[in-house]
């Protein structure tokens, strides 16, 4: 049975492709989901791909992943910079966590330079556009193959 990787997306990513395309590109979140599904098949993984603008949904999904998943790839978006609660949920997980940001948060406003999630992440991918999700899936497959 394929290992399940949760790919969780935070606020405003539902507008990917429409919101500030000069920063985030023109691919939609559905485009990203389709690319991730294809990458997961290649890697022998199964994915659960979700997005919410609500912090509590992300926390609930991390807790669900803790019970049913083998790893989490998370783009917490703006919650990266504010949510100790998401960090606490991730800290309860014993599997790999990879944080993804489409833009390079370190080249943007200073308040974006710190991410609470990074304190738990086993890997961090920033500034690679939506390809960062595919890089994260490839690395997650490597981490999970070591189990």
DSSP summary character for residue 112: G
Neighbours of 2 (CB within 10 A): 12
Contact (CB, 8 A) for 71 and 95: yes
100, two tokens: 């993804």
Which of these is catalytic: 6, 24, 79, 133?
A: 24
Active site residue 24: yes
Which of these is catalytic: 26, 68, 81, 101?
A: 101
Distance CA(20)–CA(67), nearest Å, equals 36
Residues in the chain: 147
Active site residue 101: yes
Residues labelled catalytic: 24, 101
């Amino acid at each position: 049975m394929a290992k399940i990787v949760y790919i969780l997306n935070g606020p405003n990513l539902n507008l990917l492709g429409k919101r500030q395309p000069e920063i985030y590109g023109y691919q939609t979140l559905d485009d990203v989901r389709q690319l991730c599904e294809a990458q997961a098949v290649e890697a022998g993984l199964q994915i659960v791909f979700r997005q919410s603008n609500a912090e509590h949904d992300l926390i609930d999904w991390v807790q669900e992943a803790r019970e049913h998943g083998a790893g989490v790839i998370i783009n917490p978006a703006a919650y990266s910079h504010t949510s100790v609660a998401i960090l606490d949920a991730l800290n309860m997980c014993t599997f790999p966590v990879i944080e993804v940001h489409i833009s390079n948060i370190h080249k943007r406003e200073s308040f974006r330079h710190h991410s609470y999630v990074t304190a738990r992440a086993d890997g961090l991918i920033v500034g690679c556009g939506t390809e960062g999700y595919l890089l994260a899936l490839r690395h997650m497959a490597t981490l999970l193959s070591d189990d």
